[in-house]
Structure 1
């Protein structure tokens, strides 16, 4: 199998690595599809693979007594399998593909070996771990303090950042998990944003019409997708 060329990759972590650090990972990286709704990491099960997302979105989902709620998103700015970089082998959360795409997969053992010897890799992955912690913390704050409409605007912006296209594959089922609310509440919030000229909603799709208005509604808690 040919080694991936760092210069043509889209994952921001892999492109941020110095040549030595990338060279340690490259032989173990395997291109794989990310089919919609595929579970990449199951809760409380050994994590055997990590995924550097090239295209698409993976949701980090918490299971509660009220149902599933999304607590984080990963696109090409990051990787799926953060517990491995923290020295743990499992997580209580589910990582599931929300928007299909592609990734570079690496076995857990190979990632551990590279982390053991590469300070550059530890530094880059550590920056992403920090950004994900901030994202999850902002989600907790948003769920406690923002209106449903503002929370919806924030998730739409986060999806927009990662897919880099105006038409987003967001169904009411996905939105209800994002917001932790029932579908009728999603419908009302979607209608509110559409009525304000921020989005256009069609079956299974939301099109961003006015990003500036969405940012104003979401406020400072939104944050970007940087690493």
Structure 2
């Protein structure tokens, strides 16, 4: 059970629940540490817990029958996973893994489903998944129409949105796997972004130096899902 005051809860969805509704779900929440690489769900396997991240970054990864994989979506303290739990589906549709260490509040699947009977909780979760679907659609469009430099800029901005400070612990190899590009392409793109003064790239660490300029460089690759999330959440529980 989570005993912390709701004001200290670092997950956006849990923090905006009306206090009485939060107390109902809080008694079922368990606080857990999530080191990098922690698997939160596997495709086709039963969903044991639903996770509300407080920190860190996770990825939904889609894999083809031939074993090729790419990141489909990214999440942090603004949402929950596995997303399929909302539809009363007991197995995950994606592999879900922590890409940056963090912590979370988790609830077992049955208690999550019971909480969906609460109108305030269900409203928040449904709006969250709607915003997430916009991100998934934007990823598909970006992969089709933007070059690697813009895609990398977008991805780094999304990571920056979900960390404290300007440092993001990422390797070139990991970024390549998430973007489904070759590692040399990531190295070249990082050189471009660094040459423009947007960031500093060191071994295993990227430091954002000029956020505004990086957003301008990303152009329309970044921003729509983020704006949609704000729109969907801004009027909850006046």
Say yes or no: TM over 0.5: yes
Structure 1 counterpart of 2:183: 183
Query: How far apart, in 1, do the equivalents of 2:15 and 2:91 lie?
Result: 27
TM-score, normalised via structure 1 length: 0.95
The alignment yields a C-alpha RMSD, in angstroms, of: 1.4
SS in 1 for 2:27: helix
Is contact 2:2-2:29 (8 Å) kept?
no
Is contact 1:4-1:29 (8 Å) kept?
no
Shift of 1:2: 5.6
TM-score, normalised via structure 2 length: 0.91
Worse overlay, 63-72 or 128-137: 63-72
Query: How far apart, in 1, do the equivalents of 2:141 and 2:67 lie?
Result: 19
Query: C-alpha deviations, 1:140-177, integer Å up to 9, x for none?
Result: 00000001000000000000000032110111122112
Query: How far apart, in 2, do the equivalents of 1:222 and 1:76 lie?
Result: 19
Is contact 2:46-2:91 (8 Å) kept?
yes
Structure 2 counterpart of 1:145: 145
SS in 2 for 1:28: coil
Structure 1 counterpart of 2:100: 99
Report 1:1-227 matches (<5 A): 3-64=3-64, 65=66, 67-116=68-117, 118-223=118-223, 224=226, 226=230, 227=233
Worse overlay, 50-59 or 81-90: 81-90
Check 1:145–1:66 CA distance in 2 against 1; reply closer, same or farther (3 A cut): farther
Query: How far apart, in 2, do the equivalents of 1:42 and 1:142 lie?
Result: 26
Detail structure 1 runs of 4+ shifted over 6 Å in the superposition: none
SS in 1 for 2:116: helix
Is contact 1:59-1:97 (8 Å) kept?
yes
Query: How far apart, in 1, do the equivalents of 2:211 and 2:162 lie?
Result: 14
Is contact 2:84-2:93 (8 Å) kept?
no
Check 1:42–1:188 CA distance in 2 against 1; reply closer, same or farther (3 A cut): same
Query: How far apart, in 1, do the equivalents of 2:200 and 2:2 lie?
Result: 43
Query: C-alpha deviations, 1:191-213, integer Å up to 9, x for none?
Result: 11111111110001111011112
Structure 2 residue runs of 5 or longer lacking an equivalent are 234-238
